[in-house]
Amino acid sequence: MRSRIKWVVTTLLFITVIIILGYYHARLLQCYEATQNNFYPNTITSGVVATGENTSTFAYPTSNMMRCRISEVNEDEQTSIALLKVHKTGSTTLSSILYRFGIRRGLSFVMVKDPNLHQFYPRTIDKSFKSFYPPCQNGKYDILNIHSRYNGRNILSRFMREDTFIVATLRRPLEQMQSGFNYYGYAKTLRRVGATFEDFLDRPQRYVPRLRQIMINPLQLLWNSMSFDLGLSDFDIPRGITRSEIENEPIYLAEVERFLNWMESEIDFFVISEEFDESLILLKDELNLQIEDFVYFTQNVAAQPLKDDYYIDDRLLNKSIEFSYIDNLLYDRMKLKLDRKKREKGAKLEIEIAELRQLNQEFSEYCLDKIETDPLLFGAVKILGNKLKKERKQDRCCYETAIDEMKFVKEIKQYMKNSCNSNF
């Protein structure tokens, strides 16, 4: 009897301890959330500007004592920008740049109610509109940079200004496919049956049933996936069609040319991933911004290099072009446009690139302790995250530049709530 009473008392004490620990754990989480939600208060004593102001400064570490500042807005500055996020092309890094620019200008953002950043993909923007939070004023947003497929400037103008500057990112198609093949878990799945990326390119339809374990339509993230993100599906081009099939059918050739011409007329600027810094400097000129606005830490990069079976040679390149022909045509055409802009910029381009890289290096040395695996980011591979130095964790400028996209979206929602008085 005594042993039974002792067992009951011990059990009750154990349960009590668990409840107490759970209570204090919850309180700690609440404190953390409160700290995070206070990231954009109305007044900040550390030198960060209050919402809507343009005169305060951030501490900014450079040899010539430049400041991480909210520069004065000039009348020619572009403040309505749509970034069409194209998968595995470096769009997350550019997205971070636009987030920082927007909050320092007091601009409004397209924000979706669901915390899942990919909630609407592969739906088009017009199919996502009802799930946006309301804009701050005038029924229009200033910044768009969510994953949602593009389907026309006329659709975009329903909730953004007519003069919105549209930017998209592109990457060399073979590398973009290899990166996606690894990131989405396709490589790991096919490795179980001894298949490589090249095997997939040789006979993609053979492996589609197995890849449906990951995604219902596995080809949409590999076959001309950059063009698909930018609206290819609105054209009469069957999914999975190869280069040989396109070139042997005049109707398909005409549709591809129509799509490429549409891209040139719709998109104001294409950032080329392999020439990211060059693209940023030219984009700065297009938007009438300053180099300081484009300082960045790289985001969403795999922690480990691709496996040994990810090689590049002429044979593999030709197979990738056969499989994803439209992406290659799009990339080549927009790369030529970027090359023309570089020539027009002349020697000043290299000077400004060097300045941007110097700012990046000095800012990284000032802010970052190390780059480490970030467990909060999703995907089938480990992703690197930026860890701030202990003494820089309260530095707003460092925090905004280092924060990963999912955390930044949370901060932006709080910022919108404070500045727009919306029922977020």
Quick: pLDDT tens for 325-355: 999 999 999 999 999 999 999 999 999 999 9
Q: For residue 122, give the nearest of 227, 207, 265 by alpha carbon.
A: 227
CB 224 within 8 Å of CB 326 = yes
Yes or no: say if 202 and 322 are a contact pair by the CB < 8 Å rule: no
Domain-embedded: residue 21: no
Domain membership of residue 14 (yes or no) is no
> Rounded distance, CA 150 to CA 186, Å?
25
Three-class SS state of 369:
strand
Inside any domain, residue 45: no
| Domain-located, residue 100 | yes
Residue 36 forms part of a structural domain: no
Closest alpha carbon to 54 in 74, 39, 81:
74
Reading phi first (left if > 0) and then psi (alpha if -120 to 50, else beta), residue 152 is in left
Which of 52-56, 180-184, 190-194, 291-295 bottoms out in mean pLDDT, i.e. has the lowest?
A: 52-56
pLDDT at 48 exceeding the cut of 60: no
151 located within any domain: yes
Provide the domain limits for residue 263.
Answer: 54-420
In a domain, 301, yes or no: yes
Total tally of structural domains belonging to the chain: 1
**pTM (2 d.p.):** 0.77
pLDDT at 271 over 50: yes
Q: How do residues 208-255 score in pLDDT, each as one tens digit? A: 888 888 878 888 888 999 999 999 987 889 988 999 999 999 999 999
Q: Is residue 305 part of a domain?
A: yes
The answer for 88, left when phi > 0, alpha when psi is -120 to 50, beta otherwise, is left
Q: Which residues are CB-neighbours of 337 under 8 A, at least 6 positions away?
A: 264, 270
